[in-house]
Amino acid sequence: MNAFVAVLRRDLLLALRDGAGTWTVLGFFAIAVAVFPLGVGPEPQVLARIAPGVLWAMALLAALLSLETLFEADYRDGSLEPLLSGALAPELLVLAKALAHWLATGLPLAIAAPVLGIFLNLPTEAMPVLLASLLLGTPVLSLLGAVGAALALGARRATVLLAVMVLPLSAPVLIFGAGAVESAQTGLAATPSLLILGSVALVALAVCPVAAAAALRQAVE
């Protein structure tokens, strides 16, 4: 457990000291969302109609943007190998790093989303559901991203490769995340979508660390 906390603290410290990571992701999220009113026009009804999908899709892309660095620095400077053979099981190492990634990117994205929702004229009633769906969904993106980032370590064109791998797998999160917000917006119950999102998160929590750990072992072989 101590090792888990140590890895978590180390990665969070690195993210905080660097600082740029979180702010770049948030900046990308805000700019990407702001592109839509410019493209589809400023009609409030149209914007409110597409708001759940736009916010969710752009949060997905913003999270994707930050994935490449998840293991890359440790892989390059050689610290990944001792980390993998250290006291902490590789699966827990993945979990610690994914948690740190989520705290540094997913959580800020979820908190920023309602503010950007105002831009898109999303009704206030839908805001709590937007926040809840992102809080449930962004951890899945960090976990799936950990698998993708571990698989792409040392690959040519890793960035594009990562998108090709992670985007199809994150489709359920996008569908049910945006679906929950849309139901809340149209006065339907959002709970079913949120429950499915929660179950997707639990499956990802069980499967992804194992898959990512297997990929990391291959990478340092």
18 vs 72, beta carbon nearer another protein: 72
Q: Residue 151, interface with another protein (CB under 8 A)?
A: yes
Told to check if 171 binds another protein by CB under 8 A, we report yes
Query: Judged by CB under 8 A, how many residues of this single chain contact another protein?
Result: 24
Instruction: Among 34, 35, 164, 188, indicate the residue that binds another protein (CB under 8 A).
Output: 164
If the CB atoms of residues 14 and 169 are measured against another protein, the closer one turns out to be 169
The set of residues, in sequence order, having a beta carbon less than 8 Å from that of 221 and lying 6+ positions away, is none
The minimum distance between CB 13 and another protein, in angstroms, equals 30
Tell the burial category of 95 from Cβ atoms under 10 Å away from its Cβ (0-12, 13-18, 19+): buried
- Cβ(22)–Cβ(104) below 8 Å: yes
Selected from 38, 41, 124, 221, the binder of another protein by CB under 8 A is: 221
Q: Could you say whether residue 192 binds another protein (CB under 8 A)?
A: no
Under the binding rule (CB under 8 A), the answer on residue 211 touching another protein is yes
| Nearest to 142, CA basis, from 101, 177, 185 | 101
Among the residue ranges 17-25, 64-72, 97-105, 148-156, the one whose residues contact another protein (CB under 8 A): 148-156
Long-range contacts, stretch 42-46, CB < 8 angstroms, 24+ apart = 44/121, 45/121
56-80 residues labelled b (16+ CB within 10 A) or e (exposed): bbbbbebbbbbbbebbbebbeeeeb
Cα 103 to Cα 42: distance, rounded to the nearest angstrom: 33
If you ran DSSP here, which 8-state letter would residue 179 be given?
H
- The answer to whether residue 17 forms part of the interface with another protein (CB under 8 A) is no
For position 167 contacting another protein by CB under 8 A, the verdict is yes
- Closer of 17 and 157 to another protein (Cβ): 157
The CB-of-125 to another protein minimum distance in angstroms stands at 26
Q: Residue numbers of the site for another protein (CB under 8 A)?
A: 147, 151-152, 154-158, 161, 164-165, 167-169, 171, 203, 207-208, 211, 214-215, 218-219, 221
